[in-house]
Every structure is written in structure tokens, then in C-alpha cells.
Amino acid sequence: MIIPVQITEKAEAEIKNIMANKNIPAEYSLRVGVKGGGCGGMAYALGFDKPKPEDQQFEVAGIPVLIEKRHYMFLMGMQIDFFEGDEARGFTFINPDLPKRHDQ
């Protein structure tokens, strides 16, 4: 099976830091998903969760990853990155197949 998402080195380091320092249970994995649709398009979600029967399980950069089967096609090719700026920090999803906007 093809792994649908990639995780950058910055995101990998932050996810592993969270898993090690925020009391995430050992049986939990990183859940990657999508929410909604509508006018604003898809919103992407990250969290930690136990595997469920409808999940596909992967390992990306040494991180166990869960994706619901129905979300798989929306996440194909996505790259998860982490940014730190003067006023904000957090995870972002990048579709490398789309051209960058001028304001990014």
C-alpha cells in the first residue's frame, strides 16, 4: 500500500517531541484526517488516537500514523510540515502538486 502522507523533518521532530513529553499513551498513533468541505474547502486535522477498525495504519518517519479509509483519497500526496514564526507556530498541510500562492 502506498503511504499517502509525508512528514517533513521539522514536523517529525515536533510530533516525536509531543509524543515523548505530553503523556501520549504508547498504544496511540498520530491520526491524520480531514473535516468538512463546503465553501472553505477541506480542513485537515491531526491528533493522537487508538486504532479503529476503519483505519489504515502506516509508519512514516518512525511515527505510527492512522488514516480513516474514507479520508485516504483526500490526503494522498500531502506533506505535513511544522512552522515557527514570531506570532504563530503549528502544523500545516502542503499539497506539493499545487502551485504556491504569492502570499506564502
CATH of domain 5-94: 2.60.300.12
More reliable by pLDDT, 104 or 40: 40
Position 38 pLDDT exceeds 70? no
What integer pLDDT is reported at residue 104 of this predicted model? 46
Position 24 pLDDT exceeds 80? yes
Round to whole Å and give the CA distance between 51 and 27: 8
Round to whole Å and give the CA distance between 84 and 87: 8
pTM of the model as a whole: 0.85
pLDDT tens by residue, 83-102? 998 888 999 999 877 665 44
- Paired strand residues for 35: 43
The helix/strand count (H/E) of the chain reads as 2, 7
* Domain ranges, ordered by start, for the chain: 5-94
Q: What average pLDDT does this structure show over 60-70? A: 94
